[in-house]
Amino acid sequence: MSQSSEELEVQPFEIIEVQTKEYRRFNTRGTQCKVRLNSPPEISLPDPFTHFVDSVNNLFDHVLDDADMVGIIFHNEVNQSDKPIGFSFRRKDQLLPDVIWSVFDKVSQSNARFNATDTLIVTVHSVRHSSH
């Protein structure tokens, strides 16, 4: 049974690369997931804030568990002179949309340049304690 293009949900991100490493001494596993945030579909044009928050939430639900410690870096794929924006490691439940957006707000108020309308690459670093 085929679905119409309206019924197919567009993934808000594209996974570029995933690297995983076990740290047996510390009983943990580290994962680096590099993704590209996709533009919103032209059919439904949500405001940029809503699209960004929904994309990041979908990404977190896809690659993280609730107990993960997470560090994130956003950088501009198109303009390499833009400084990356990073978040220090914290628990997944502490990465609320308001927290992420407040960092972008601080960048916009500084002299740093960051063009969020270009293609954004998000690198998610997660650390997970292995179960016993």
Q: pLDDT tens, 11-36?
A: 788 888 899 998 888 888 889 888 88
Beta-bridged to residue 31, according to DSSP, are: 20, 126
Q: What is the pLDDT of residue 109?
A: 67
Task: Parse the chain into domains and list their residue ranges.
Answer: 13-129
What is the DSSP-derived secondary structure letter of residue 95?
Answer: -
CB 55 within 8 A of CB 62: no
Whether the full predicted model's pTM is greater than 0.75, yes or no, is no
Mean pLDDT of 59-79: 84
Q: What is the pLDDT of residue 5?
A: 45
Q: What is the pLDDT of residue 98?
A: 77
Q: What is the pLDDT of residue 105?
A: 74
Query: Which among 125, 117, 124 has a CA at the least distance from the CA of 35?
Result: 124
Mean pLDDT of 70-95: 82
118-8-36 Cα angle (round to 5) = 25
Task: Indicate the pLDDT class of residue 117, thresholds 50, 70 and 90.
Answer: low
Distance from the first to the final alpha carbon of the chain? 44
Mean pLDDT of 91-117: 71
DSSP element (H, E) containing 18: strand 13-23
CB neighbours of 115 closer than 8 A, spacing ≥ 6?
76, 78, 79, 82
Token pair, residue 97, equals: 């949309």
From 17-26, 64-73, 95-104, 112-121, the region with the lowest mean pLDDT: 112-121
Distance CA 125, CA 10 (A): 24
